[in-house]
Structure 1
């Protein structure tokens, strides 16, 4: 649960309700019932498993019990791991100085602390350096290389960076240094000339290690090294204490970096979350204390994502990462508490900066001539915004306006250079947009969902025009609303502690394994209250002729205070959770989407080319949308009068499809013929 301070005055009112688009995943009633019977779970949970692509009982059981699967040895999956171990073992035996170059985000800092603890426990002479976020930017650089060399370092180990650092790595090799790169970022066309490279992007896509963050690569290296030293009693951990310590740091970094919670991430994070409440790391215990989580018996990924992770990341954004490294490697309770309190104060400053810049950004946009909906993208640049937090503000503006957002600030008083961050929506690839604009940029990098960039101030109008051009090539007006993806429809009567306990088997939830979202049509909203910093609390109930006094369930909508009061009747989309207050535990809904009540009809089954399909005609405002689903759960959606529809596959963003071409044209005609035989479907 998020902290809820004293209620402030009501936030500014926005008209209506959130302008969202809902993606209802396909209803698979027969398959869900069959899977539920085979695995002894609720049909609602079975539907969620189907949505995750787990359509076989054995696959579903393996997902619900990840420890039941046998892992391949990382020595088999990482080609350069044996060489990396040999280089490190020789350096340790020869008492050669080893230096770690980390990064200033939570992944990089936890990776650095993890390897410092592991290498020192094995007798290595090891130190570290992290580049300055404000003065140097991301990744190892030549200054750090030269400094390491002057200090007598013989082996450099990068964590969470280095895969694109060609010139710094080349300089290190010129100076006779050994370099091992551990990273997880996308691969450049040509790899750096390092002695060894460990990156999950270099291994098979089917490997369970493929989705690891930087801290995962560091964890595999540390555990394999300890095993090579013969320090592992049962294959992991010099002692049980070391094993637990490294697992806790892996868990903290993996969740804070928003790494996919699939493969080994899911397996190890699940174990690590059980360890964190009773952590043997003084710094983690101190961080839990200042975050108000002391006494929690079970930590969920949300506790790290919303409470622990931000306190770590805030330091990397605004202050010296050494604070976090000392927090995570000290065994002194007093030092740990002092560093945790520093993290707390820096995070409060970060929160204030984010709130201030967000208000300024909203005001700057809404009082400008820029029209983000027409442009399909929003680029905002203002002086004196702190570069360390503008990425967070960009995410909030994406949530508010539903368009890709690029935010920049001037790096100098003369306003000659702009540096910024970008955040996106599913249909817009930030990295491709920056590549499309690269002749106007000084530097850029990133991936599909986020990125960073810099350019000369004089190019501002040209950059805005180029981004607008790219956005119009890949986005349509219907894309420019926040997307809510929904697993299944549920009746409020189904929402009980038994269902909540079953859904708990899906945890840890996070990237690529999201908390399931359910929806219930036409619920009654009552007892609305504002609370905290613009949050909305209310009760929901479902009218039922057989129940004179319908059950009421408490609901929370974070950051929705500006929509107060909500209409009295709504369709709602929500996550199921529990709320504890004064020793009482109750079911609570975290509302993530609402819309005015709509009428949805049942799906109609039909055959096309001897294959089974279902179809449904749905009313969406003044538009009708035909949705066709095949046996694999893929959905073709087309609005009346349009020749371009969307094809959605499980866990992938919708792709535009020309439905005037075959076989889609005949498929649609067959579906419409099937609907014509059911008059209520087309009314």
Structure 2
């Protein structure tokens, strides 16, 4: 059970509206105390573990030390793994050509590089192909099958694709080629006629291997093959590094073996033995880092790998991750850097154009739902425009989901005649993209994906029927309250509870990511002391909160990424945030990364009153040290008084609050008038 709390949306002085829904995990104080004592953690962090399904001290120890848990053999869980090993061993022994068909995203490219390295080390004759994103789209196709056959290939390995490729696989079998599918995408109603299929969606949900991405399946296959050949030591740790890169970049859940192996891989990456990884670390400015965290891959290394697959030739990344030549590695890493800059520019341009389209529709209709619907109200945003690069529209779709809180299907025309559309979809938790695409399959060409994301193509003539069908599907699974950006929160904290010691304990929860996110805390009725726009659409703030002791104020710097449109924020808000550190000139300080805001919950509503011929407003908030009275005048100045205290705080607009003695006649009479107004309301 979770606590769903709704508050009035936050309308900023600029007139922009931040309308979110907060999902706050219920506090479990007794269990949290037991886990905190057993694991030597803050009760706040113990509550986070409870929210992750860790409910006993024993489970907490395994979570904090995942390497201590005994793993079952993947041979027990993947039914086709023994046959896959047999096919590969026979191909190696008979000097039969093996070909890998990969995908052009980070998962597919790291999977391809991983198996190339492993199979070559183990004595295989192996090459690869990746379909063109621009002209062919996702997955193995008949052209690739025919080319493999002409080149004398006897065994095909798909990585991060193939589970829905019925016709290409059937053609390969007709030609006498053996096929092993390694994939992690959702299972279609019928499976392709491959010799063997390795997909974690086919194994028990209780398996520790259930959440692996495509690169995880490739890693399991490579390690099992090396063990079968008695050559595990020859592979070294390089495969684990590639597994870590691909798993984090693909947003795979950091649970089960993913959490265990990524934790190990992150320790290896700063001193990577792979020339390409070291070159990538160098061009992204991460050289010299003593440790690597998932966000370094998610926001620095991963995007540079993904950008190549989106805009250029994936061969650049394959060479980067398979070469042992430092010069070639640096050259390829520099190419990744330049391509990523191009990707950033395209994303910014398309995002702004998409927002303009949606906002214009909102302006025209006067309410939010209209642009998501055709012809009646709906619950899905579908935006299709010509001349957008379909290599980056998936990123834009994610940003639109973050902004509007609804499933987003975004597409672009592939030809000048505008007869064919290719698109990407991103979703919210209550809407399954793959199921939605299945629901519309008669209107689509190719499609695939999973719960949170997918890709699709269709004839332009089917666009309006697709809109209507998606809305029908959305009405089956979405309620109006779902149509706001979701902020998932672990626990309430006062700003006085935040310190570097707490941050150090959060390190024990790493690696954090999908299904094991960074802890999110919230604090009530926080004062926005300072704020300014920085960079490309961000807000930097100073936030503060009164402490329990009279006159004490706890203050932090905060950053709100891509919230420039909402500047300036109101002077008092409930804040939801993650903790981050800032290392400036060797001095480490704690910062807040804002992910949500809402109006503070007033015990007494905002009441207007007059005193000495001047207009004021008063409200009362619950502070952990007692009730807090807040009085504001027309100029934006605020007087805050804690129950039972003689000293209050006077804030003039966004200036730093100053202590005042509320026993002085002016303040005393003002407070009496405010209390009288509350009583009479």
Give the TM-score taking structure 2 as reference length.
0.83
Q: Deviations over 1:398-435 (max 9, x none)?
A: 11122211111111111111221111112222223323
Q: 2:420 aligns with which of 399, 417, 422?
A: 417
Query: Over residues 270-329 of structure 1, what are the superposed CA-to-partner deviations in whole Å (9 max), with x where a residue is unaligned?
Result: 000011111111111111111111111111111101111110111111111000000000
**Aligned equivalent of 2:198:** 198
Write the distance in 1 (CA, Å) between the matches of 2:560 and 2:181. 43
Out of 240, 247, 267, the residue aligned to residue 274 of structure 1 is 267
Cα 1:251–1:554 change in 2 (3 A) is same
Whole-angstrom distance in 2 between the partners of 1:14 and 1:372: 25
8 A contact 1:160–1:183 mirrored in 2: yes
Deviations along 1:134-164, one digit per CA (max 9) or x if unpaired, are 2111111111111111111111111111112
Of 307, 311, 319, which residue of structure 1 is paired with 2:300? 307
Q: Residue 670 of structure 1 corresponds to which residue in structure 2?
A: none
Name the CA distance, whole Å, in 1 between partners of 2:343 and 2:126.
32
> Which of 592, 595, 600 is 1:592 aligned to?
595
Task: Tell me the residue number matched to 1:254.
Answer: 247
**Is 1:353 aligned to 2:354, yes or no?**
no
Secondary structure at 1:551 match in 2: strand
Of residues 303, 311, 331, the one that matches 1:318 is 311
- Are 2:34 and 2:57, in contact at CA under 8 Å, matched by a contact in 1? no
Aligned residue number for residue 559 of structure 1: 562
1:101-250 aligned within 5 A: 101-232=101-232, 237-238=233-234, 242-250=235-243
Moved more, 558-567 or 332-341: 558-567
The equivalent residue for 1:32 is: 32
In 2: Cα distance, 1:220 partner to 1:492 partner: 44
Note if 1:328 corresponds to 2:317. Answer: no
1:444 aligned partner: 447
Assess, with a 3 A threshold, how the Cα gap between structure 1 residues 600 and 200 changes in structure 2: closer, same or farther: farther
Cα deviation digits, residues 26-67 of structure 1 (max 9, x gap):
111111112212222111111111111111111111011001
Q: Where does residue 661 of structure 1 map in the other structure?
A: none
Partner of 1:495: 498
TM-score by length of 1: 0.83
Residue 339 (structure 1) aligns with: 332
Kindly state the Cα deviation for residue 128 of structure 1 after the two structures are TM-superposed.
0.5
Closer/same/farther in 2, CA of residues 93 and 72 from structure 1, 3 Å limit: same
Q: How many Å separate the matches in 2 of 1:384 and 1:136?
A: 18
Q: Secondary structure at the match of 1:367?
A: helix
How many pairs align? 586
From 323, 331, 356, the counterpart of 1:363: 356
Separation (CA, whole Å) in 1 of partners of 2:603 and 2:228: 61
1:553 and 1:588 in contact (8 A); partners too: yes
Residue 535 of structure 1 pairs with residue 528 of structure 2: no
Match of residue 477 from structure 1: 480
- Do the aligned partners of residues 225 and 435 (structure 1) sit closer, same or farther apart at CA in structure 2, a change above 3 Å counting? closer
* In structure 2, distance between residues paired with 1:357 and 1:38: 51
Structure 1 residue runs of 5 or longer lacking an equivalent are 1-11, 602-617, 620-682
Deviations 1:643-663 (A, max 9, x none): xxxxxxxxxxxxxxxxxxxxx
Q: CA deviation at 1:465?
A: 2.5
Deviation at 1:397, TM superposition (A): 1.1
Distance 1:363 1:377 in 2: 17
Shift of 1:540: 1.4
**How far apart are residue 599 of structure 1 and its match?**
4.5
* SS of residue matched to 2:430: coil
**How much has 1:547 moved relative to structure 2?**
4.1
TM-fit CA distance, 1:446 = 2.4
Which secondary structure does the structure 2 equivalent of 1:158 belong to?
strand
1:461 aligns with 2:464: yes
The change in CA–CA distance for 1:440 and 1:175 in structure 2 (over 3 A counts) is closer
- For the aligned residues, what is the CA RMSD? 2.0
Deviates more, 1:511-520 or 1:364-373: 364-373
2:505 is aligned with 1:512: no
Instruction: Give the CA deviation at 1:490.
Output: 0.7
**Is residue 98–residue 154 contact of structure 1 (8 Å, CA) maintained in 2?**
yes
1:343, 1:16 → 2: CA distance?
Answer: 37
Q: Which moved more, 1:571-580 or 1:424-433?
A: 424-433
For residues 216 and 442 of structure 1, the distance between their equivalents in structure 2, rounded to whole angstroms, comes to 29
Aligned to 1:371, the other structure's residue is in SS state helix
Partner residue in 2 for 1:426: 429
Q: Residue 633 of structure 1 aligns with which residue?
A: none
Q: How far apart in 2 are the matches of 1:363 and 1:51?
A: 38
Partner of 1:51: 51
CA contact (8 A) 1:17 1:595 kept: no
1:334-355: CA deviation from partner (whole Å, max 9, x where unpaired): 1111111111111111111111
Q: Shift of the alpha carbon at 1:13?
A: 8.8
User: Residue 401 of structure 2 corresponds to which residue in structure 1?
Assistant: 398
Describe the SS at the equivalent of 2:180.
strand
Using the alignment, how far apart are the partners of 1:338 and 1:113 within structure 2?
Answer: 17
Distance 1:429 1:74 in 2: 28
- The residue matched to 1:22 in structure 2 has which SS? strand
After superposition, what is the alpha-carbon deviation per residue over 1:446-504, rounded to whole angstroms, capped at 9, x for unaligned? 22222222222223333223323332333232211101011001111111111111111
Change in CA separation of 1:387 and 1:264 when aligned onto 2, cut-off 3 Å: same
In the alignment, which residue of structure 2 is the partner of 1:642? none
